[in-house]
């Protein structure tokens, strides 16, 4: 909701006024850390203490120095306020993760683990069953359980992948994509052959210029790990 509001619904004038402020705030954090390291003697340089980076800029450097000072005060206040809120934040985060609202999906989600357990029960009760097929979770996969195979058919609906922004203060970007894939099961010389096919389709061009600039590259698509052909001996 925050991402859609910031990148799509917020007034463009306000959005592009906020972006440089947030970027400058991030630079202020780096400047404050440099000052603390030099003042404590951990770093022997005098780059930040002597304003060696800002002095050559003249009047503009003075303005930047004033901004850094104001932001440093704000950062200290935020740190003091955040300490008592940390316990509350961790408790809320645990709740949001439990309801799968933060995109913190493990390698095997709770839903997938439930289906895998059901598959194990079916295989144990019926030795003639070699393939267990399910869907609903929308994440296509093919997993081996000993001599058996568990297949998730996936989805042909548009999916949104959460990608953190390059600058942490900006909202995450949600990359749209299509996963047009399917499994074909057939008989091959007395064995079960499972062929995996994927139809390539370019993702919809829904991201704005700002989203494309600030978003990191999406992670590798897990669908590429599904083998093109799997053979099950019966």
CA angle centred on 187, ends 182 and 191, rounded to 5°:
110
CB 174 within 8 Å of CB 162: yes
Give the rounded distance of the alpha carbon of 124 from its chain centre: 37
The b/e string for 181-210 (b: 16+ C-beta within 10 A; e otherwise) is bebeeeeeeeebebebebeeeeeeeebeeb
Is 151 a domain residue? Answer: yes
Is 104 a domain residue? Answer: no
Is 201 a domain residue? Answer: yes
Do both 158 and 195 map to the same domain? yes
Residue 62, pLDDT score: 78
Is 154 a domain residue? Answer: yes
Do both 60 and 80 map to the same domain? yes
| Domain end position, chosen among 98, 118, 141 | 98
Is 128 a domain residue? Answer: yes
Do both 151 and 225 map to the same domain? yes
DSSP for 102-161, written as a single string: S----SS-HHHHHHHHHHHHHHHH-TT--EEEE-SS---EEEEETTEEEEE----S-EEE
Q: How far apart are the first and last CA of the chain?
A: 49
For 197, list phi and psi in degrees, rounded to 5.
Answer: -125, 145
Question: What is the rounded distance in angstroms from the CA atom of residue 218 to the CA atom of residue 161?
Answer: 8
Do both 33 and 71 map to the same domain? yes
* H or E segment to which residue 191 belongs: strand 191-199
pLDDT means per 10 residues, the chain with 234 residues, are 84 83 77 79 73 73 78 79 79 72 53 86 93 86 90 86 81 86 91 91 84 80 81 88
pTM of the model: 0.57
CB 151 within 8 Å of CB 194: yes
Do both 116 and 63 map to the same domain? no
Number of domains observed in the structure of the chain: 2
Residue 126, pLDDT score: 92
- For residue 208, give Cα distances in angstroms to 9, 201, 204: 12, 20, 12
Do both 30 and 75 map to the same domain? yes
Do both 116 and 228 map to the same domain? yes
| Total Cβ atoms within 10 A of residue 78 | 10
Is 224 a domain residue? Answer: yes
Do both 137 and 85 map to the same domain? no
Do both 34 and 122 map to the same domain? no
Structure tokens at 126: 């019926």
| Domain end position, chosen among 73, 98, 123 | 98
Is 103 a domain residue? Answer: no
Residue 163, pLDDT score: 86
Q: Which domain covers residue 17, as residue numbers?
A: 2-98
Do both 125 and 198 map to the same domain? yes
């Amino acid at each position: 909701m925050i991402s859609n509001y910031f990148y799509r619904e917020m007034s463009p004038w306000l959005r592009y006024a906020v972006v440089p402020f947030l970027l400058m705030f991030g630079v202020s954090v780096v400047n404050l850390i440099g000052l603390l390291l030099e003042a404590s003697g951990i770093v022997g340089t005098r780059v930040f203490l002597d304003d060696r980076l800002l002095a050559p800029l003249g009047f503009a450097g003075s303005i930047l120095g004033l901004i850094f000072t104001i932001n440093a005060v704000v950062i200290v206040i935020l740190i003091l306020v955040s300490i008592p809120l940390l316990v509350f934040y961790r408790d809320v985060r645990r709740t949001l993760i439990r309801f799968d609202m933060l995109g913190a999906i493990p390698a095997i989600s709770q839903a997938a683990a439930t289906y895998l357990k059901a598959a194990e029960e079916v295989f144990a009760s019926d030795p003639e069953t070699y393939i267990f097929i399910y869907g609903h979770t929308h994440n296509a996969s093919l997993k081996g359980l000993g001599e058996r195979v568990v297949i998730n058919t996936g989805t042909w609906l548009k999916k949104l992948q959460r990608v953190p922004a390059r600058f942490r203060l900006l909202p995450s970007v949600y990359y749209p994509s299509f996963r047009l894939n399917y499994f074909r099961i057939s008989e091959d010389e007395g064995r079960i052959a499972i062929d995996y096919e994927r139809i390539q389709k370019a993702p919809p061009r829904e991201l704005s210029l700002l989203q494309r600039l600030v978003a990191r590259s999406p992670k590798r698509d897990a669908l590429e790990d599904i083998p093109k052909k799997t053979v099950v001996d019966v």
